[in-house]
Amino acid sequence: MRTIKFRAWDSDINKMFLPENIGRIHFYPEAKGITTITKHGDGISMNFKLMQFTGLSDKFGKEIYEGDIVYVPEGYGGDLLYKEFIGIVDYDPPEFYINQQESIKKTRKWYGQEYGWDELEIIGNIYENPELIK
């Protein structure tokens, strides 16, 4: 069974809160955000962006979360040969996938059956390293 955990980006202070720093997450349907209470005191904000843990790790054992920017090496997926690319880990229930943004109008979703998640390398995330996806 996959471990359910989150990390959170606070856009007010440009800081990433890792799972070990998050005590509780409160969702407020009437608000367009969340309030989080951290283990190191009350960290109240309505501008957190949550990123869920995929349950998987990259080739170096680093945990993969939604919003991670990953390098996918060239390889085979089923009968498909694909070239290396950089993509963003995203979630479309019930599974995680890598969104390869080939152009503004065209994207390609790469699912786990097309490559091994343990072959990926995390090179950043969309909040701390947005320049990697431009």
61-109 pLDDT per residue, tens: 999 999 999 998 887 666 666 778 888 998 888 788 888 866 444 455 6
Q: Is 40 left (phi over 0), alpha (psi -120 to 50) or beta?
A: alpha
Domains and CATH numbers, the chain: 6-133 (2.30.30.290)
Contact 69, 54 (CB under 8 A): no
pLDDT at 15: 87
Task: List the structure tokens of 134.
Answer: 């431009």
Find the farthest-apart pair of alpha carbons in the chain and give their distance in angstroms, rounded. 52
The residue that leads in pLDDT, 134 or 113, is 134
Instruction: Report pLDDT for 121.
Output: 94
What pLDDT sits at residue 28? Answer: 65
The band of 3, judged by pLDDT with boundaries at 50, 70 and 90, is confident
